[in-house]
Structure 1
Amino acid sequence: MDVDGIDERIIGHLRADGRMSNADLAAAVGLSPSACLRRVRALESRGVIRGYTAIIDSRSGRQGIVVFVQISLERQTDDFLGRFEKAARRCPEIRECYLMTGVADYQLRLVVADMTEYERVHRDVLSALPGVSRIQSSFTIRAVIQPMEG
Protein backbone atom coordinates (compact mmCIF):
# COMPACT_ATOMS: atom_id res chain seq x y z
CA MET A 1 0.00 0.00 0.00
CA ASP A 2 1.65 3.17 -1.19
CA VAL A 3 1.41 6.00 1.30
CA ASP A 4 3.00 9.37 0.57
CA GLY A 5 4.10 12.11 2.96
CA ILE A 6 0.70 13.81 3.06
CA ASP A 7 -1.00 10.47 3.77
CA GLU A 8 1.49 9.88 6.60
CA ARG A 9 0.62 13.27 8.10
CA ILE A 10 -3.11 12.52 7.81
CA ILE A 11 -2.57 9.17 9.53
CA GLY A 12 -0.51 10.80 12.28
CA HIS A 13 -3.18 13.40 13.02
CA LEU A 14 -6.00 10.83 12.99
CA ARG A 15 -3.98 8.49 15.21
CA ALA A 16 -3.69 11.30 17.76
CA ASP A 17 -7.32 12.45 17.38
CA GLY A 18 -9.65 10.21 15.39
CA ARG A 19 -12.51 12.65 15.99
CA MET A 20 -10.70 15.58 14.36
CA SER A 21 -13.00 17.35 11.91
CA ASN A 22 -12.14 17.13 8.24
CA ALA A 23 -11.75 20.94 8.12
CA ASP A 24 -9.21 20.89 10.98
CA LEU A 25 -7.41 17.90 9.47
CA ALA A 26 -7.22 19.59 6.07
CA ALA A 27 -5.77 22.75 7.63
CA ALA A 28 -3.23 20.72 9.62
CA VAL A 29 -1.91 18.92 6.53
CA GLY A 30 -2.21 21.84 4.10
CA LEU A 31 -4.98 20.55 1.84
CA SER A 32 -8.42 21.79 0.89
CA PRO A 33 -11.20 20.02 2.81
CA SER A 34 -12.41 18.20 -0.32
CA ALA A 35 -8.90 16.96 -1.21
CA CYS A 36 -8.32 15.88 2.38
CA LEU A 37 -11.62 13.97 2.52
CA ARG A 38 -10.77 12.19 -0.76
CA ARG A 39 -7.44 11.08 0.70
CA VAL A 40 -9.02 9.88 3.97
CA ARG A 41 -11.65 7.90 2.04
CA ALA A 42 -8.93 6.42 -0.19
CA LEU A 43 -6.93 5.38 2.89
CA GLU A 44 -10.08 3.78 4.31
CA SER A 45 -11.00 1.97 1.08
CA ARG A 46 -7.45 0.60 0.72
CA GLY A 47 -7.55 -0.70 4.28
CA VAL A 48 -4.77 1.56 5.55
CA ILE A 49 -7.29 3.09 7.96
CA ARG A 50 -9.37 0.15 9.17
CA GLY A 51 -11.61 1.98 11.61
CA TYR A 52 -11.96 4.42 14.45
CA THR A 53 -12.23 3.49 18.10
CA ALA A 54 -12.85 4.96 21.51
CA ILE A 55 -10.08 4.55 24.09
CA ILE A 56 -11.70 3.83 27.45
CA ASP A 57 -9.84 5.04 30.54
CA SER A 58 -9.05 2.00 32.70
CA ARG A 59 -9.93 4.05 35.79
CA SER A 60 -13.55 4.23 34.59
CA GLY A 61 -14.10 0.71 35.86
CA ARG A 62 -15.25 -0.50 32.45
CA GLN A 63 -12.01 -1.96 31.14
CA GLY A 64 -11.89 -5.14 33.20
CA ILE A 65 -8.81 -7.23 33.85
CA VAL A 66 -6.21 -7.38 31.08
CA VAL A 67 -4.61 -10.81 30.74
CA PHE A 68 -1.67 -11.73 28.54
CA VAL A 69 -1.70 -15.39 27.60
CA GLN A 70 1.07 -17.38 25.96
CA ILE A 71 -0.15 -20.38 23.99
CA SER A 72 2.01 -23.26 22.81
CA LEU A 73 0.69 -25.66 20.19
CA GLU A 74 1.33 -29.39 19.82
CA ARG A 75 2.79 -28.75 16.36
CA GLN A 76 3.68 -25.70 14.27
CA THR A 77 2.42 -26.99 10.93
CA ASP A 78 0.39 -24.76 8.62
CA ASP A 79 -2.68 -26.86 9.42
CA PHE A 80 -2.30 -26.46 13.21
CA LEU A 81 -1.55 -22.73 12.93
CA GLY A 82 -4.47 -22.15 10.57
CA ARG A 83 -6.98 -24.05 12.70
CA PHE A 84 -5.86 -22.24 15.85
CA GLU A 85 -6.03 -18.80 14.22
CA LYS A 86 -9.46 -19.45 12.71
CA ALA A 87 -10.85 -20.52 16.09
CA ALA A 88 -9.15 -17.62 17.92
CA ARG A 89 -10.79 -15.08 15.59
CA ARG A 90 -14.21 -16.33 16.74
CA CYS A 91 -13.47 -15.69 20.45
CA PRO A 92 -14.67 -12.22 21.52
CA GLU A 93 -12.59 -12.39 24.70
CA ILE A 94 -9.39 -12.42 22.61
CA ARG A 95 -8.70 -8.77 21.76
CA GLU A 96 -5.30 -9.35 20.12
CA CYS A 97 -3.44 -12.43 18.91
CA TYR A 98 0.16 -12.53 17.65
CA LEU A 99 2.18 -15.39 16.17
CA MET A 100 5.49 -15.19 18.03
CA THR A 101 9.08 -16.35 17.99
CA GLY A 102 10.53 -17.72 21.21
CA VAL A 103 9.13 -20.07 23.82
CA ALA A 104 5.40 -19.79 23.02
CA ASP A 105 3.74 -19.88 19.62
CA TYR A 106 1.12 -17.18 20.30
CA GLN A 107 0.72 -14.16 22.56
CA LEU A 108 -2.89 -13.19 23.28
CA ARG A 109 -4.35 -10.16 25.01
CA LEU A 110 -7.68 -10.78 26.69
CA VAL A 111 -9.96 -8.50 28.66
CA VAL A 112 -12.26 -10.13 31.20
CA ALA A 113 -14.57 -8.71 33.86
CA ASP A 114 -13.10 -10.66 36.77
CA MET A 115 -11.27 -13.85 37.78
CA THR A 116 -14.46 -15.91 37.57
CA GLU A 117 -14.85 -14.92 33.94
CA TYR A 118 -11.18 -15.69 33.25
CA GLU A 119 -11.61 -19.14 34.79
CA ARG A 120 -14.53 -19.76 32.42
CA VAL A 121 -12.56 -18.45 29.42
CA HIS A 122 -9.53 -20.58 30.36
CA ARG A 123 -11.64 -23.71 30.79
CA ASP A 124 -14.20 -23.30 27.99
CA VAL A 125 -12.40 -21.20 25.38
CA LEU A 126 -8.59 -21.33 25.57
CA SER A 127 -8.35 -25.01 26.50
CA ALA A 128 -10.78 -25.86 23.68
CA LEU A 129 -8.77 -24.11 20.96
CA PRO A 130 -7.38 -26.63 18.46
CA GLY A 131 -3.87 -27.95 19.07
CA VAL A 132 -3.20 -26.17 22.39
CA SER A 133 -0.61 -27.97 24.51
CA ARG A 134 0.30 -25.24 27.04
CA ILE A 135 -1.33 -22.08 28.41
CA GLN A 136 0.54 -19.55 30.55
CA SER A 137 -1.36 -16.51 31.84
CA SER A 138 -0.07 -13.23 33.26
CA PHE A 139 -2.37 -10.63 34.81
CA THR A 140 -1.65 -6.93 34.54
CA ILE A 141 -1.35 -4.80 37.65
CA ARG A 142 -1.61 -1.50 35.75
CA ALA A 143 -0.75 -0.04 32.36
CA VAL A 144 2.42 2.05 32.35
CA ILE A 145 2.37 2.88 28.64
CA GLN A 146 -0.76 2.04 26.73
CA PRO A 147 -1.10 2.34 22.96
CA MET A 148 -3.71 4.73 21.62
CA GLU A 149 -4.69 2.35 18.81
CA GLY A 150 -7.30 0.68 21.01
Structure 2
Amino acid sequence: MPGTGRAGEQEARGMATVVLIGTLDTKGAEYAWIADRVRTHGASTVTIDVGLFSTADADIGAAEVARSGHADLAALRAARDRGAAMEAMASGAASVALALHAEGRLDGVLAVGVPVAPRSRPARCGPCRSGCRNCWSPRWPRVTSRPTSVRAT
Protein backbone atom coordinates (compact mmCIF):
# COMPACT_ATOMS: atom_id res chain seq x y z
CA MET A 1 0.00 0.00 0.00
CA PRO A 2 1.50 3.39 -0.99
CA GLY A 3 2.35 5.87 1.72
CA THR A 4 0.68 9.21 2.22
CA GLY A 5 1.79 12.75 1.44
CA ARG A 6 4.50 13.65 -1.08
CA ALA A 7 6.39 10.38 -0.63
CA GLY A 8 3.17 8.45 -1.17
CA GLU A 9 2.38 10.44 -4.33
CA GLN A 10 5.85 9.72 -5.70
CA GLU A 11 5.53 6.05 -4.79
CA ALA A 12 2.12 5.85 -6.51
CA ARG A 13 3.55 7.49 -9.67
CA GLY A 14 6.52 5.15 -9.59
CA MET A 15 9.18 7.79 -10.20
CA ALA A 16 10.35 11.20 -9.10
CA THR A 17 9.82 14.25 -11.30
CA VAL A 18 12.70 16.69 -11.68
CA VAL A 19 11.84 20.14 -13.00
CA LEU A 20 14.59 21.64 -15.17
CA ILE A 21 14.50 25.44 -15.31
CA GLY A 22 16.72 27.21 -17.80
CA THR A 23 17.32 29.44 -20.77
CA LEU A 24 16.74 26.91 -23.51
CA ASP A 25 17.51 29.51 -26.19
CA THR A 26 21.18 29.47 -25.16
CA LYS A 27 21.52 26.22 -23.21
CA GLY A 28 19.09 23.91 -25.01
CA ALA A 29 21.71 21.28 -25.86
CA GLU A 30 22.95 21.20 -22.27
CA TYR A 31 19.43 20.82 -20.90
CA ALA A 32 18.66 18.05 -23.40
CA TRP A 33 21.74 16.20 -22.14
CA ILE A 34 20.79 16.78 -18.48
CA ALA A 35 17.20 15.63 -19.11
CA ASP A 36 18.52 12.48 -20.76
CA ARG A 37 20.79 11.76 -17.77
CA VAL A 38 17.94 12.33 -15.30
CA ARG A 39 15.62 10.00 -17.23
CA THR A 40 18.41 7.40 -17.45
CA HIS A 41 18.35 7.29 -13.65
CA GLY A 42 14.62 6.61 -13.54
CA ALA A 43 13.11 10.03 -12.98
CA SER A 44 10.83 11.97 -15.28
CA THR A 45 11.48 15.58 -16.27
CA VAL A 46 9.50 18.75 -16.86
CA THR A 47 11.35 21.55 -18.68
CA ILE A 48 10.59 25.20 -17.98
CA ASP A 49 12.04 27.62 -20.53
CA VAL A 50 12.95 31.07 -19.20
CA GLY A 51 14.83 32.16 -22.31
CA LEU A 52 13.45 35.36 -23.85
CA PHE A 53 14.27 34.42 -27.42
CA SER A 54 13.73 30.70 -27.25
CA THR A 55 11.87 28.59 -29.76
CA ALA A 56 12.72 25.38 -27.89
CA ASP A 57 10.20 22.61 -27.41
CA ALA A 58 9.83 22.92 -23.64
CA ASP A 59 7.08 21.43 -21.51
CA ILE A 60 6.36 24.95 -20.24
CA GLY A 61 7.40 27.64 -22.71
CA ALA A 62 8.75 31.13 -22.14
CA ALA A 63 5.43 32.82 -23.00
CA GLU A 64 3.63 30.87 -20.26
CA VAL A 65 6.45 31.60 -17.81
CA ALA A 66 6.22 35.34 -18.60
CA ARG A 67 2.42 35.29 -18.09
CA SER A 68 2.93 33.57 -14.74
CA GLY A 69 5.29 36.41 -13.86
CA HIS A 70 2.58 38.95 -14.79
CA ALA A 71 4.39 40.02 -17.94
CA ASP A 72 4.06 39.68 -21.70
CA LEU A 73 6.93 37.95 -23.51
CA ALA A 74 6.70 40.22 -26.57
CA ALA A 75 6.75 43.32 -24.35
CA LEU A 76 9.77 42.01 -22.45
CA ARG A 77 11.59 41.43 -25.73
CA ALA A 78 10.68 44.89 -27.05
CA ALA A 79 11.69 46.70 -23.84
CA ARG A 80 15.24 45.34 -24.03
CA ASP A 81 15.58 45.73 -20.25
CA ARG A 82 17.54 42.68 -19.14
CA GLY A 83 16.97 43.29 -15.42
CA ALA A 84 13.20 43.62 -15.75
CA ALA A 85 13.05 40.59 -18.04
CA MET A 86 15.08 38.49 -15.62
CA GLU A 87 12.86 39.49 -12.71
CA ALA A 88 9.66 38.72 -14.62
CA MET A 89 10.95 35.35 -15.81
CA ALA A 90 12.29 34.43 -12.35
CA SER A 91 8.95 35.34 -10.82
CA GLY A 92 7.12 33.34 -13.48
CA ALA A 93 9.39 30.31 -13.07
CA ALA A 94 8.84 30.37 -9.31
CA SER A 95 5.09 30.58 -9.78
CA VAL A 96 5.08 27.71 -12.28
CA ALA A 97 7.30 25.56 -10.05
CA LEU A 98 5.09 26.18 -7.03
CA ALA A 99 2.00 25.27 -9.05
CA LEU A 100 3.69 22.04 -10.20
CA HIS A 101 4.58 21.28 -6.59
CA ALA A 102 1.00 21.89 -5.47
CA GLU A 103 -0.16 19.46 -8.19
CA GLY A 104 2.30 16.83 -6.96
CA ARG A 105 4.34 17.04 -10.16
CA LEU A 106 7.62 18.31 -8.66
CA ASP A 107 10.03 16.32 -6.53
CA GLY A 108 13.20 18.27 -7.32
CA VAL A 109 14.43 21.30 -9.26
CA LEU A 110 17.61 21.75 -11.26
CA ALA A 111 18.68 25.04 -12.81
CA VAL A 112 22.03 25.42 -14.56
CA GLY A 113 23.53 28.74 -15.54
CA VAL A 114 20.51 30.81 -14.49
CA PRO A 115 21.77 34.24 -13.38
CA VAL A 116 20.37 36.13 -10.43
CA ALA A 117 18.24 39.14 -11.35
CA PRO A 118 20.08 42.33 -10.32
CA ARG A 119 17.34 43.54 -7.96
CA SER A 120 16.40 40.13 -6.55
CA ARG A 121 16.62 39.49 -2.84
CA PRO A 122 16.85 36.17 -1.03
CA ALA A 123 13.44 34.54 -0.74
CA ARG A 124 11.66 31.53 0.63
CA CYS A 125 10.54 29.60 -2.42
CA GLY A 126 9.24 26.42 -0.87
CA PRO A 127 5.83 25.60 0.49
CA CYS A 128 6.93 25.75 4.13
CA ARG A 129 8.12 29.38 3.79
CA SER A 130 10.14 28.97 6.97
CA GLY A 131 13.58 29.39 5.45
CA CYS A 132 14.68 25.80 6.00
CA ARG A 133 17.65 24.56 3.98
CA ASN A 134 15.33 22.53 1.73
CA CYS A 135 13.27 25.52 0.57
CA TRP A 136 15.70 28.43 0.62
CA SER A 137 16.73 29.91 -2.71
CA PRO A 138 18.51 33.24 -3.23
CA ARG A 139 17.27 33.30 -6.83
CA TRP A 140 13.49 33.20 -6.55
CA PRO A 141 11.15 36.03 -5.55
CA ARG A 142 9.34 36.10 -2.24
CA VAL A 143 6.31 33.84 -2.08
CA THR A 144 3.08 35.42 -0.87
CA SER A 145 0.34 33.60 1.00
CA ARG A 146 -1.15 31.90 -2.08
CA PRO A 147 1.03 29.08 -3.49
CA THR A 148 0.63 30.15 -7.13
CA SER A 149 1.10 33.86 -6.49
CA VAL A 150 4.62 35.25 -6.47
CA ARG A 151 5.87 38.80 -6.35
CA ALA A 152 9.35 40.18 -6.81
CA THR A 153 10.59 42.37 -3.97
Task: Give the alignment's TM-score, normalised by structure 1.
Answer: 0.24
Q: Which has the higher strand share?
A: 1
Bigger radius of gyration: 1
Between the two structures, name the one with larger relative contact order (CA 8 Å, sep ≥ 6).
1
